[in-house]
Amino acid sequence: MKQEPETNINRQGLTAQRLLLQRYLKSAPLLFLFFIVGFVAACAPVTSGVLKKEPVPAQPDRDTPVMKKDQTQQAYQDFTKASIALSRGNYGDAQKYLESAIREDPQSAYLNRKMGLLLKELRKYPEALAYARKGVVLEPESITGIALLGDLYALTGKDDLAIEQYQKILGLDPKTQRIRLLLTTILVRKKQFQSALNHLDILIEQNPELVVAHYYRGRINLEMGRYKEAEKAFDETLKLNSNLEPALFDQATIYQMTNREKEAAQAYERLLALYPDNIPARERLVTLYSKLGLEEKASEHVKKIKEQSRPGAPERQALGLIYLRQGKIDESIAELDLIVNAWPNDYKSRYYLAVAYEEKGDIKKALEQLRQIESGSKYFVSAQIQIAHLLITEEKYDAAIKVLEKAIALEQDKIELYLMLASIYENREEYDKAITVIKEGLKINDKSVDLIFRLGVLLDKTGSNELCIEQMRKILEIEPNNADALNYIGYTYAEQGIKLDNAIELIQKALKLKPESGYIIDSLGWVYYKKGSYDKAIHYLEKAAILTKDDPTINEHLGDAYLKKKKYEKALLYYEKALSLKHPKEKQLKEKITGVKELLKKKN
- Write the DSSP assignment of 39-98 as a string of letters: HHHHTS-SS--TT-SSPPPPPP-TTS-HHHHHHHHHHHHHHHHHHHHHHTT-HHHHHHHH
Q: How far apart are the C-alpha atoms of 604 and 591, rounded to whole Å? A: 20
* Inside any domain, residue 540: yes
Domain boundary among 182, 208, 227: 182
Q: In this structure, are 398 and 456 located in the same domain? A: yes
Q: How far is CA 554 from CA 20, 402, 537, in A?
A: 30, 37, 11
Residue 538 zone, left/alpha/beta (φ > 0; ψ -120 to 50; rest):
alpha
Q: In this structure, are 473 and 515 located in the same domain? A: no
Q: How far is CA 208 from CA 44, 237, 495, in A?
A: 18, 10, 47
Cβ–Cβ under 8 Å, residues 435 and 461: no
Q: How far apart are the C-alpha atoms of 330 and 328, rounded to whole Å? A: 6
pTM of the model: 0.64
Domain boundary among 465, 480, 495: 480
* Inside any domain, residue 549: yes
* Inside any domain, residue 80: yes
Q: In this structure, are 171 and 124 located in the same domain? A: yes
Q: In this structure, are 448 and 517 located in the same domain? A: no
Q: How far apart are the C-alpha atoms of 421 and 437, rounded to whole Å? A: 7
* Contact residues for 482 (Cβ-Cβ < 8 A; gap 6+): 449, 475, 476
Q: How far apart are the C-alpha atoms of 312 and 342, rounded to whole Å? A: 6
Q: In this structure, are 596 and 531 located in the same domain? A: yes
Residue 2 zone, left/alpha/beta (φ > 0; ψ -120 to 50; rest):
beta
Q: Which candidate, 413, 363, 408, 406, places its Cα nearest to that of 386?
A: 363
Q: In this structure, are 79 and 148 located in the same domain? A: yes
Q: How far apart are the C-alpha atoms of 396 and 393, rounded to whole Å? A: 8
Where in the sequence is the domain holding 129, given as residue range(s)? 66-182
* Inside any domain, residue 340: no
Residue 115, φ and ψ in degrees, nearest 5: -65, -40
Domain boundary among 182, 197, 217: 182
Q: In this structure, are 524 and 420 located in the same domain? A: no
* Inside any domain, residue 440: yes
Q: What is the DSSP letter of 9?
A: S
Q: Which candidate, 45, 25, 470, places its Cα nearest to that of 219?
A: 25
DSSP class per residue in 11-30: -TT--HHHHHHHHHHHHHHH
The predicted structure's pLDDT at residue 4:
67
Using DSSP's 3-state secondary structure scheme, residue 598 falls into: helix
* Inside any domain, residue 165: yes
Q: Residue 372 CB: number of other CB atoms within 10 A?
A: 17
The predicted structure's pLDDT at residue 70:
67
Cβ–Cβ under 8 Å, residues 364 and 358: no
CA torsion angle 207 212 214 217 (round to 10):
-120
Q: In this structure, are 399 and 439 located in the same domain? A: yes
Q: In this structure, are 513 and 475 located in the same domain? A: no
Q: How far apart are the C-alpha atoms of 570 and 276, rounded to whole Å? A: 58
* Inside any domain, residue 263: no
Q: How far apart are the C-alpha atoms of 286 and 281, rounded to whole Å? A: 9
The amino acid sitting at 395 is E
Handedness of CA 319, 320, 326, 328 (dihedral sign): positive
Q: How far apart are the C-alpha atoms of 56 and 79, rounded to whole Å? A: 9
Q: In this structure, are 461 and 553 located in the same domain? A: no
pLDDT tens-digit map of 222-255: 988 899 999 999 999 999 999 999 999 999 999 9
Q: Which CATH number is 384's domain given?
A: 1.25.40.10
Q: In this structure, are 83 and 173 located in the same domain? A: yes
Q: How far apart are the C-alpha atoms of 320 and 334, rounded to whole Å? A: 8
Q: How far is CA 498 from CA 34, 200, 464, 476, in A?
A: 49, 39, 16, 20
Number of domains in the chain: 3
Q: Which residue ranges of the chain lie beneath pLDDT 70?
A: 4-70
* Inside any domain, residue 61: no
Q: How far is CA 266 from CA 226, 256, 270, 293, 373, in A?
A: 22, 11, 6, 15, 37
Cβ–Cβ under 8 Å, residues 435 and 455: yes
Cβ–Cβ under 8 Å, residues 369 and 357: yes
What are the residue ranges of helices labelled H in 445-533?
449-461, 465-478, 483-496, 500-513, 518-530
The predicted structure's pLDDT at residue 332:
93
Q: Residue 416 CB: number of other CB atoms within 10 A?
A: 20
The amino acid sitting at 507 is I
Q: Which candidate, 276, 270, 221, places its Cα nearest to that of 248?
A: 270
Q: In this structure, are 516 and 413 located in the same domain? A: no
